[in-house]
Amino acid sequence: MSILEVKGLYKNFGKSEVLKNIDLSLEKGETLAIIGPSGSGKSTLLRCINCLERAEKGTIILDGNTIAEEVAGVTQYLKDEELTQARLHLGMVFQNFNLFPHLNVLQNLTLAPMSVDKKPKEQAESEALDLLGKVGLRDRADAYPCELSGGQGQRVAIARALAMDPDILCFDEPTSALDPELTGEVLQVIKELAAEHMTMLIVTPEMGFAKEVANSVVFMDEGRVLERGTPGELLVNPKEERIKAFLNKLLSV
Ligand SMILES: Nc1ncnc2c1ncn2[C@@H]1O[C@H](COP(=O)(O)OP(=O)(O)OP(=O)(O)O)[C@@H](O)[C@H]1O
Ligand SMILES: [Mg+2]
């Protein structure tokens, strides 16, 4: 069974329909890249999957657990406490890192494991240091977020998400706030996670990266999934004219 199944998802903001009948599934160990023009609903889809936004219609099943279910045309979510537990299966990395500015790097990593998972401080710190080693920042454990470069900040944000041992890691344009010379170090960390078969959902404008790292690519347009395929199919030889035009435009910039 898929680790994530989204069926018939609709999301409105006021009168505007932002997601229209989205079906999406993700297999364990798969890296799925979501691409598409600005305003097509990519961030909203990730936010709905993470329950940061609530959908009007549709069903979301995470790891066999139905967290949102359409009943008589309306989506009903799990109760708050159950939803909080279910959401622990998901990690989220945002464009702007969202680190806690008043906590140092180590504290950023240990806060949730200690408060939510009730891990002893020593264990949380030792695991956090291992994760910092994994993203090449073990020596910055005492630094505060304002003392880090953008690339370092984003690598800390990835380590913080990993500290909760999520089943799926979601990224929303993880390199878009970075200077071009800093994107490589963040993409490298994500590539290594993909090689370890971490299950990931990545919204990215970096087509080269999507081609290299994703098993599967979804193209969204105007709130719909227009096409899904392997990077070789969708990014090289898409069926839809709309996608060809999008890719050609990127190439001509
Ligand atoms: N909180 C909100 N309130 C009202 N409208 C919103 C809200 N969030 C997003 N929208 C609208 O929903 C549509 C989809 O936005 P979304 O941010 O999901 O697009 P996107 O594909 O992530 O775009 P980008 O590539 O620019 O990040 C847009 O028209 C946007 O203006
Ligand atoms: Mg977005």
Per-residue pLDDT of the chain (253 residues; tens, 9 = 90+): 899 999 999 999 999 999 999 999 999 999 999 999 999 999 999 999 999 999 999 999 999 999 999 999 899 999 999 999 999 999 999 999 899 999 999 999 999 999 999 999 999 999 999 999 999 999 999 999 999 999 999 999 999 999 999 999 999 999 999 998 999 999 999 999 999 999 999 999 999 999 999 999 999 999 999 999 999 999 999 999 999 999 998 877 6
Report whether residue 52 contacts ligand 1, using a CB cutoff of 6 Å: no
DSSP state of 78: P
Ligand nearest to the Cα of 220, by number: 1
Ligand 1: which residue has its CA nearest to atom 3? 13
What's the pLDDT at 17? 96
For atom 8 of ligand 1, the residue with the nearest CA is: 44
Note down the domain range covering 121: 100-165
Tell me whether residue 242 is in a domain.
Answer: no
Q: Compute CA 100 distance to the chain's CA centroid, rounded to the nearest angstrom.
A: 19
Closest C-alpha residue for ligand 1 atom 9: 44
Question: Do strands 216-221 and 31-35 pair parallel, antiparallel, or not at all (unpaired)?
Answer: parallel
Determine, yes or no, domain membership for 107. Answer: yes
For the CA of 171, the nearest ligand = 2
Give me the phi and psi of 92, to 5 degrees please.
-135, 130
Model pLDDT, residue 27:
97
Q: Give domain status of residue 39, yes or no.
A: no
Q: Which two tokens stand for residue 76?
A: 């009903």
For a ligand 1 pocket test, name from 18, 172, 207, 218 the mutation site with the most ligand atoms within 8 angstroms of its C-beta. 18
Task: Evaluate whether residue 249 is within a structural domain.
Answer: no
- The number of beta carbons lying within 10 Å of the beta carbon of residue 197 is 12
Atom of ligand 1 nearest to the CA of 47: 18
Q: List the CATH number of the domain containing 105.
A: 1.20.1580.10
- Check pocket membership of 75 for ligand 1, CB cut-off 6 A: no
Strands 199-203 and 216-221: unpaired
Supply the pLDDT for residue 250: 84
Residues near 24 by Cβ (< 8 Å), separated by ≥ 6?
Answer: 4, 5, 6, 9, 32, 45, 218, 225
Q: Which residues contact 80 (CB under 8 A, 6 or more apart)?
A: none
Pick from 43, 113, 54: nearest CA to 78: 54
Residue 52 lies in a domain: no
Q: Is residue 11 lining ligand 1, measured as CB closer than 6 Å?
A: no
Ligand nearest to the CA of 205: 1
Positive or negative, the CA dihedral 191, 195, 196, 201 is: positive
Length of the chain: 253
252 lines ligand 1 (CB under 6 A): no
19 Cα–ligand 1 center, Å: 10
Can you give the pLDDT at residue 251? 79
Residue 113 lies in a domain: yes
- For residue 51, is it within any domain? no
Contact 156, 145 (CB under 8 A): yes
How many domains does one find in the chain?
A: 1
Q: In terms of Cα–Cα distance, which of 69, 67, 42 is closest to 58? A: 69
Question: Exposed/middle/buried for 38, CB within 10 Å: 0-12, 13-18, 19+?
Answer: exposed
d(CA 166, ligand 2 centre) in Å: 22
